[in-house]
Amino acid sequence: MIRDQAIGPQSEREIHPGARWQPLRRLLERGGIQILLVLGALIFALPFVWMVSTSLKADRQIFAFPPIWVPDPFIWGNFPAVFIYAPMHLYFFNTLLIALAHVFGAVFTCSLAAYAFSRLRAPGRDLIFMVMVSQMMIPYIVMLVPLYLLFAELEWIDTFYPLTIPAMLGTPFYIFMLRQFFLTIPMELEEAAIIDGATRLRIWWTIILPLAKPALATVAIFSFMFAWNDFTGPLIFLNTREKFTLSLGLQAFMFERRTMWGPLMAASTMMIVPILIVFFLAQKHFIQGIALTGIKA
Amino acid sequence: MTDAQPKPRLTNAAREALTCYLFLLPWGIGFLAFVIGPVAASFVLGFMDYEIVTPARWVGLSNYIELFTDDQRFGMSMGNTLYYVLVFVPLHILVATLLALLLNQKARGIAVYRTLFYVPSIVPIVAGAILWVWILQPEWGLINSTLRSVGIEGPLWLASLTWSKPALILMALWGSGAAMIIVLAGLQGVPQHLYEAAEIDGANRWQRFQHVTLPMLSPTLFFILVLSVIASFQVFTTAYVMTGGGPAESTLFYMLYLYRRAFVLLDMGYAASMAWILFVAVLALTLVQFKLASRWVYYEAEQS
């Protein structure tokens, strides 16, 4: 016992031989993590820097070795030059129009259906819900060919209808997300309104929609981004240049002018910037979206 | 819209049910017209010869027989797609997990790094594809310029038979940020007390990762695995924009071939049968993954 006491501090060191080095190890570790983070950030961010840098350079600086990062002088001409080859303003409005139809569908039609699924009792409702959930698992390609034939029959090819009408009728994924959110809204809030004789439509509009703003923002952003980025839909259903979306127009631009990297990068920048703005304005809704899909649970 | 109007007498329950159906009607119309109808039509079309200009003709199984016995491009495009899936999916999960582990550490400015890693995954795919054609450009592109400055002559990337598929995979990995966020959410859901318990038991860092983090993360990884297998079997846009299937059809993926059959050659029946083959193949693969999942995916609820 006496011996134990005598060598007390020493035995402590024997148990943790590295204890003396703990602070140094931690410092190295922290430094290592920081270095890896910076390295990763460079790899992920450099393509953007390269894009913007190219869009602001004259050709003799674009085709240069070693690569020039900071344009000298800054050339803005690539941006107006894009419009000579690709009517970006038309593409922009076409894309915006289609995207707004998607947002409308997500916010109004989908939330109406989600309200029915989460609140209104009806025979067969849960069966219908299961059908809707399994709809999410059907891949788009299985429907693509007959959809094309159907739209051709309806004379919808080369119009915006194929890209807007189905979306405005509702998308299962958004209905599902909104239903999950509506289930978290307490019933008591509606009960008083029901006793007062308010219709369900009024309750949905005046009570549920205002309370569900965060979830609605999430589906609005998701649907906007989907429509903004979609390429396959416009590729198959649109033919004339004036009706192209940004995705399709940009692809056509590159197909025709594969070496005009200045204007091409300017055009890409113009397409990416609105998405980045949406992202930075609404970052928390992206994170919320991941939580709403139930992945976290 | 008030209830005061004289209406046919309905019980409250009946009225509620009617409202419910009414609210579901828009989706129901869309479902019948744009989903169930086309799926059924697609199945039938697979047994027909229909090239739009001539009337459809019933040909039985001959589309399927031709695909499996007489169509070299079918096998080749499936091979290209399998290459893509087998290389991309594991790397995708690895990159997403490594980034998430990195972001789960305590370090300065972590929110900024999280944003930087995530943003490429929301870039419009066509804009991203065009950007990467420029980055991968053999002579003046960013990658080969950088390699040249350290004395390495880079490959031709998108113009090379060997490097065209890796180039597309590289570009796709740049967009791993979405999966990374999901893994990060999974990591942050691991209860702290499990790590503390493991530490008391004398587990070192690697053992803690192996016996706590990995099992707790396995449902998340499984989820990403299933989704990315489904998505990468349908790889289309990057190849369409960046290579158009070339060079020498080395990036002619299944969806690209299907697209050509349907919308370039207007061979609608043939394309419909191709779609069904892909659907059944991916569905079967997904079911196999669910079967195998019980061997490596750990669900806490089952244990208690």
Same domain, A168 and A94: yes
- What are the Cα distances from residue B292, in Å, to B94, B151, B222? 20, 46, 10
DSSP string, A194-218: HHTT--HHHHIIIIIHHHTHHHHHH
Please say which residue of A35, A53, A75 terminates a domain. Answer: A75
Q: A67-75 — which CB contacts under 8 Å span 24+ positions?
A: A67/B140, A67/B142, A67/B145, A67/B146, A75/A262
Pair (A146, A251) in one structural domain: yes
In the 8-state DSSP scheme, what is residue A67? P
Handedness of CA A42, A45, A50, A56 (dihedral sign): negative
The domain boundary residue, chosen from A75, A108, A126: A75
First to last CA, chain B: 51
Tally of domains within chain A: 2
A90 and A135 both lie in a single domain: yes
Same domain, A104 and A23: no
Residue A12 has pLDDT above 60, yes or no: no
Helix (H, G, I), strand (E, B) or coil at B48: strand
pLDDT mean over A43-68: 91
Same-domain status, A265 and A205: yes
For residue A104, is it within any domain? yes
| Helix, strand, coil share (%) of chain B residues, nearest 5 | 75, 0, 25
Structure confidence at residue B5 (pLDDT): 55
- Between residues 20 and 79 of chain A, which touch chain B (CB distance below 8 Å)? 30, 33-34, 36-37, 40-41, 44-48, 50-51, 54, 62-67
Average pLDDT over residues B180-190: 90
User: Of B177, B198, B195, B39, whose CA–CA distance to B117 is shortest?
Assistant: B177
In terms of domains, do A145 and A169 share one?
Answer: yes
pLDDT exceeds 50 at position B255: yes
Percentage of chain A exceeding pLDDT 90: 58
Does one domain contain both A204 and A220? yes
Q: What is the pTM of this model?
A: 0.88
Helix axes A110-119, A125-135, angle to 10 degrees: 140
Q: 68-87 in B: which are within 8 Å (CB) of A?
A: none
Residue A251 contacts B where some CB pair is shorter than 8 Å: yes
DSSP SS3 for B29: helix
- Taking an 8 Å cut-off on Cβ atoms, the answer to whether B24 and A113 are in contact is yes
Query: What is the least distance, in Å, from the CA of A6 to any CA of chain B?
Result: 27
B271: closest chain A residue by CA = A145
Domain extent at residue A89: 81-292
A148 and A17 within one domain:
no
One domain for residues A50 and A94: no
Contact B236, B255 (CB under 8 A): yes
Buried b (16+ CB within 10 A) or exposed e, A39-52: ebbeebbebbebbb
Contact A231 B102 (CB under 8 A): no
Q: Is residue A297 part of a domain?
A: no
B101 touches chain A (CB under 8 A): no
Q: Quick one: pLDDT at residue A198?
A: 87
Give pLDDT tens digits for A211-233. 998 889 989 998 999 999 999 99
Whether ipTM > 0.85 holds is: yes
Identify the CATH number of the domain defined by range B71-303.
1.10.3720.10
A197 part of a folded domain: yes
The model's pLDDT over B18-56, given as tens digits with 9 standing for 90+, comes to 999 999 999 999 999 999 999 999 999 999 999 888 888
| Cα angle: B93, vertex B156, A48; to 5 degrees | 55
CATH at A93: 1.10.3720.10
